[in-house]
A = this chain, B = another copy of it.
Amino acid sequence: MPEASSRVVKLAVIPGDGIGPEVVSEAEKVLDAATADSGIRFEKTAFSLGAGRYLETGDTLTDEDLDAIKAHDAILLGAVGGVPGDPRLKDANIERGLLLKLRFELDHYVNLRPSKLYPGAPGPLADPGVVDFVVVREGTEGPYVGNGGAIRRGTPHEVANETSVNTAFGVERVVRYAFDLAERRSRRLTLVHKTNVLVHAGGLWKRIADAVAKEHPDVAVDYLHVDAATIFLVTNPGRFDVIVTDNLFGDILTDLAGAVTGGIGLAASGNINPDGAFPSMFEPVHGSAPDIAGQQKADPTAAILSVSLLLDHLGLRDEAARVTRAVEDDIAGRDGALRTTSQIGDAIAGRLRA
């Protein structure tokens, strides 16, 4: 395949803070192993971003950073965020200023979060059954837009508001993505919102889902309020195939789903711009866990599974499947023995080379 052999993928790598650099090293190791014979060359640029950078320079994400990142084909991110309560970070909001800024500026309107309970993975449920679903979380609207404010701050008369913004444009494109995904999976789609309380936003989501559903008569659609959805996630997670939901509900449901499927040490995500106008970004769902940073205690599996999502996004479906398979095999062989972060990465990379 001469064409493929000449393909270069420019990858921006943001190791970030805490355990970020450790898990990203392993993810890169696996990426290299998985693509060694593919003829594709990953040209990686590391970006120093996160709490560490902020403490050094006072910058969170400059226009130059953003422009440089935009010149890449995809992004691999570890985790960002400093030590909670660090007084030097009091005025920084790394989450909003960096992570959410990337998602918004790069129009990552699909936040894709697969939840699969791999055989052998530990989980809190007594009888989980088969769990294998994907949450399609909207990534650029809802209560995440940052359209809030406060008056009389710090006084007994303070009023602090947050506005959730939802557009037909924004909802339709993510709902369409979710239906297309459902067509390629088990053809079951669950819309999650809170239409009985958030009548305007919920009404918009419901009407659009109903309209798009008409174009997909073969997809079985149901609707759950977010509160009820959390119940099913622990009593009958097998009922889900594709869940489509708003930014905040998706945040909540995917952490819970991560816990149900073996912990967020295994939960991967893709922040995707399906139009390809901007690079998509792949990251573990977990945070920077500064308390265990640098100790080789972090599980790099979530970062490694994020590499699988990255490969899939780049059209390298075989390579993506091989990574997932290697992870699956690794998990199946876990016997509770402690392994370091790089031992896990080595083991998974080793399976790919074998």
Contact = CB atoms under 8 A, between A and B. Distances in A.
Interface of A: 93, 95-96, 100, 123-127, 143-144, 146, 148-150, 152, 154-169, 172, 194, 196-201, 203-204, 207, 226-228, 230-231, 233-235, 248, 251-252, 254-256, 258-260, 263-264
A162 B207 contact: no
A157 B196 CA distance: 23
A200 B231 contact: no
Contacts of A233: 256
A143 B200 CA distance: 12
A231 B251 CA distance: 12
Contacts of A263: 235
Contacts of A168: 152, 155-159
Nearest to A250: B227
Contacts of A96: 196-197, 199
Contacts of A194: 248, 251
Interface centre among A152, A196, A200, A248 (most CB of B within 10 A): A200
Contact of A156 (B126, B160, B166, B169): B169
Contacts of A235: 124, 259, 263
Nearest to A156: B168
Contact of A252 (B157, B207, B230): B230
Contact of A255 (B125, B207, B228): B228
A259 B260 CA distance: 13
Contacts of A260: 234
